[in-house]
Structure 1
Amino acid sequence: MSILDNFEQWKDFLGDRLEAAQQGGMTQEVINELAYRIGDYLSAEVEPKNAEERLLKALWDAGSEEEQKVLAQLMVKLVQNEGTTH
């Protein structure tokens, strides 16, 4: 089973990668840019595996580049906030 099959596992995976990036000294600006690039890649190349991913893809595809960057930043914020509640 892929981490993309379950949205909670996907968020946990992103949270782990985010924590590693922060511990490695990446700035929030760099993390946000990487999140945007990953979102762009996933939207173009990866078929959504669940309802949450289909929604994110639909939002991504409907948005301008600036809106896509905001969506990427919100995903980063989501996994950051969830990491503080565990």
Structure 2
Amino acid sequence: MTKNFDRLLEQSLDELSVQYKTLYHDSDIEGMKPLAHVDCTVLKIHGDYRDTRFRNITDELSSYPESVNELLNRVFDEYGLIVSVWSANGIPLYAM
């Protein structure tokens, strides 16, 4: 999951030959392959620059569709979460 619009996660996964599915919008959740059957899922809850439906302003970021909340709750409950934050000079600021 990333709140960035960039494609750095996807580029890294490509370099490692990891098969993944990226979800950019809540409409991508409907009909998605079950999480247990995918090696990796990248969930961009704020969207991607390639998709004009991204969330960017305060009103858009104040709440999320129920389908996104349900998926996030399921991920937190069943899979856990890895968070990594990097500074502009490439030094990791936080990782969990």
Shared topology, TM-score over 0.5?
no
Which structure has the greater CA radius of gyration? 2
Range into which the TM-score falls when normalised by the shorter chain: under 0.3
TM-score by length of 2: 0.26
Higher helix share: 1
